[in-house]
Amino acid sequence: MGYFTTLLYNRELSKHDGRNLWKYSLSDDEYIELVKILQYSTEWDLDPRDAAIYYAEWWRRKLESL
């Protein structure tokens, strides 16, 4: 199970509700957990949704810091 599925489960969602991915607003702990998962993923077990949520969150944080 990829991180995105866990994220939805933790937010009591049965599926992605169509909102922009950056609007999930990961906590610092969630973001760190996602980064660790991506660091140890290979091309064979990487869920593309995990990469997408990472980039969305990275941009959200980047723009907030400006």
Alpha carbons 34 and 50: distance in angstroms, whole number: 8
pTM: 0.90
Report the Cα 42 to chain-centroid distance in Å: 17
- Residue 27 Ramachandran class (φ > 0 left, ψ -120 to 50 alpha, else beta): beta
Domain spans of the chain, in order of start:
3-64
Show the CA angle centred on residue 36, arms to residues 35 and 41, nearest 5°.
Answer: 100
From the number of C-beta atoms within 10 Å of its C-beta (0-12, 13-18, 19+), residue 10 rates as exposed
Q: Quick check: 1 pLDDT over 80?
A: no
Q: What is the pLDDT of residues 31-44, one digit of tens each?
A: 999 999 999 999 99
